[in-house]
Every structure is written in structure tokens, then in C-alpha cells.
Amino acid sequence: MARSADVVVIGGGLHGCSTALHLALRGLRPILVEKDYAGRHASGVNAGGVRQLARHLAEIPLSIASMALWEKIEDLVGDDCGFVSHGTVLVAENEEELAGFRVRVEDLRLKGFTHEELIDRAELKRLVPAVADHCPGGVVSRRDGAADPFRTTQAFRKRAVEKGAEVLEGVTVTGLARAGSLWRVETSAGPIEAPKVVNAAGAWADRIAAALGEPVPLEVIAPMLMVTSRLPAFIEPVVILRGRKLSFKQLDNGTVVIGGGHLAVPYRDENRTVIDWTKLATSARTVWELFPAMRAATIVRAWAGIEARMPDDIPVVGPSATSEGVFHQFGFSAHGFQLGPGTGAVMAELVATGATNTPIDGLGIGRFKR
């Protein structure tokens, strides 16, 4: 005897939990199936950047929708998720980079987006006093910030359950097939039948898509992060670079999280990653140059979370192209954390009503059809 639900959400990352919450808020009964535990992978261990800055045009609407939710996150999930808003600063390392940034900011402005703001050397120094003197300026998105990723994912999970969602952890999806007008999701804890299914399976989402006859060129990646021991407070905004890979932020407890997208070697079937120290050394050299004050800092841990990257570096969000009632929400390509709250809301709207007012053109799975 199969259990029944209104929607089966596959994957307990931030996106799956957010969608489950928003479905429950719409009065639907979702069951979320997670093979490990909520936030076990990238959602729980990412850098925690809540960033609108430097996003691909196609995902800016989702990012803006998310930002509105982040700013009242406690109302939504009953926990502040450690969210603090000190902005994100994209630092230009030379005049040529700054010129490129100027073009981008102008272009966004013409399209009606005003969250990115070009800053000169003086404003950069005011926002990030510790940055090396050779940097001529940058871009700031002042409403951006950072949050605690595991706490955020857990808060969404918890609130989803409080609002009527069921969350099955340690349960693996083993199959997916039509059963009359319903979808039958086979799991290690027995079958579940539901009219709608959301594929939020992250680095494992391609397997669901392939089972539906719409294979996607998903790459399994594991962006690396490292963290220092506690240092006196010296920087408030999150700092990112364009030319070289770096993201850099100091937490309230004084530790500094250094990331930026250098990749570990992922083993998704073993839930394991192997750190590549030669690449982290590159990050260390970048920090060495940009933040001289950091040279004596001690690195106490390094880690990587497994997730999915699409070839065009933007996610797959929208209905399946082959299977009525199935929706995709994966492939956030190392920048999905900020998008979690808003994309869950949009996805729930899409599932419940069949449409959404938030533009998600350009994110459909059809773009990979040959």
C-alpha cells in the first residue's frame, strides 16, 4: 500500500526544504525525501553568502524575490538563520577590471536593476579598510549579507514540518514512474504516490531527470572552503573577486571563511570529497596579496560540499519537458544558497497554480535538449 501526498519533494537541501515549506504554507501536504539528512551536503556547508551581486541576468528575478524573504527570514521560519547584512563587495584588482565592472553596472541599470553600485577607491577603503592599497575600486550590493547555511537549512526543514510537511531522512529514492494520474516514487521506505513531484536532488538530480527521459549535462562539483581560527574583527562585508577565485568573509565569532570556487574531488556515491591543497594554496596566495593582515592567520579546517553545476552556470528551474506534474529545481552551480528562499516560493506557486509571475525564462530544462 503506497503512502500518498500532494507533492513529493526529492532532496532535503535548502531548496527542497524551502519548496516543502512554501507548499505547506499553501495548504498542500508535501513529503520530502532525503537520502542523508537535511543540509548534509552543499546546503549545509557552503560559504553562506547571501548575494545578489554579480548574478547572471536569468536568475536576477529569483535573486530579488529571495532577498525580500531573507530580509524577513525570522517571520518566515522562526529563526534569524544567522543572517547579517553588511553587503557584498566585488573588488577590482586593476583599472581594466574596474572598467569591465562599470559596463556591467550600467547595463544592469538600463535593464532596471539597481542593486549593484560602482564604488571608487575611497569608498572601497571605507567599506573594506583591510584591502590592499593597489585595488582601484569595485562594486557593492549593499543589501547583501551572509547567513549560517546549516542553521538556515534546518530552520526551513523545521518550519516545513511545523506547517504540515513530512520529512523522511535517511530514505533514498529508487525509482519514479507514472501510476495512472499519479506519480509513484519508489523509496527505501516504501512507495509514495502523488500528483506532483519536485526534483531538488542537487548533485544527484541528473539521475531523476534521466529516469524521465530528459538527461542533463550535470557536473558534480565540490567547491572548497577553509576557515581560520578567531581573529579580531577587521572586515564586515563579504568580499569577492572576479579575475581570481576568492570569496572572503569574517563571521561574528571572528573566524574567517575563505572560499571562491576552487574545487575538491567529489565522490558523490560515497558522500565524500578529497581536498585539493594545491588549489587552496592558490586561494591562500590571493588572500596573502589582498589582505596582508591575514598572513599569520591559522587555517583550522577545510571542507567541500557536493553539489551540481550546469554547463551554463545557471540552474534548472521549471516544469519537466517530458513529464506532466514533475518540476525541476537543481543545478545551482555553486551559488544557490541565496536563491533558496525565493526559488522555493516560486516553485510552490508553480506546482500549486501551474504558473508563476516571477520570470524564470531561460532556466528551463529544455535548453539542454539536443
CB of 258 to another protein, least distance (A): 8
What contacts 321, CB < 8 A, 6 or more positions away?
Answer: 214, 364, 365, 366, 369
Pairing mode, if any, of strands 145-146 and 49-50?
antiparallel
CB closer to another protein, 37 vs 113 = 37
Site mask for another protein (CB under 8 A), range 52-81, x = bound: ------------------------------
In residues, how long is the chain? 370
**Calpha distance 133→277 (Å, rounded):** 28
Question: Among residues 198 and 294, whose Cβ is nearest to another protein?
Answer: 294
**Nearest CA-CA partner of 327 in 148, 240, 200, 191:** 200
Q: Which stretch binds another protein (CB under 8 A): 49-57, 71-79, 148-156, 335-343?
A: 148-156
Q: Does 281 bind another protein (CB under 8 A)?
A: yes
Does 150 contact another protein by CB under 8 A?
A: yes
Spatial CA neighbour of 38 closest among 151, 148, 162: 151
Q: Does 296 bind another protein (CB under 8 A)?
A: yes
Per rule CB under 8 A, is residue 295 in the interface with another protein? yes
Say whether residue 177 binds another protein (CB under 8 A): no
Report the nearest approach of another protein to the CB of residue 128 (Å): 18
Contacts of 60 (CB under 8 A, 6+ apart): 52, 113
Task: Please name which of 334, 13, 24 lies closest in space to residue 149, comparing C-alpha atoms.
Answer: 13
Q: Exactly one of 13, 16, 44, 61 binds another protein (CB under 8 A); which one?
A: 44
* Identified binder of another protein from the candidate list 57, 99, 179, 274, rule CB under 8 A: 274
Please answer whether residues 92 and 138 qualify as being in contact, where contact means their C-beta atoms are separated by less than 8 angstroms: yes
| Residue 114 near residue 177 (C-beta atoms within 8 A) | no
Is position 317 an interface residue for another protein (rule: CB under 8 A)?
A: no
Sign, CA torsion 220/14/347/270:
positive
Cα–Cα distances in angstroms (integers) from residue 327 to residues 39, 117, 191, in the given order: 21, 35, 19
| From candidates 52, 141, 187, 228, binder to another protein by CB under 8 A | 228
Q: Binding of another protein at residue 250 (CB under 8 A)?
A: no
Applying CB under 8 A, among 130, 211, 275, 321 the residue interacting with another protein is 275
- Report if residue 37 touches another protein, rule: CB under 8 A: yes
**Closest approach of another protein to the CB of residue 143, in Å:** 26
Q: Which is nearer to another protein, 154 or 320 (CB)?
A: 154
Q: Which of 278, 355, 357, 361 binds another protein (CB under 8 A)?
A: 278
Min separation Cβ 56 and another protein, Å: 24
Q: Residue 324 CB, nearest distance to another protein (Å)?
A: 37
- For residues 17 and 200, is the Cβ–Cβ distance under 8 A? no
Identify the CA nearest to 20 among candidates 212, 202, 192, 200: 200
The residues binding another protein (CB under 8 A) are 37, 39, 44, 150-151, 154, 228-229, 253, 272, 274-275, 277-278, 280-282, 284-285, 287-288, 294-303
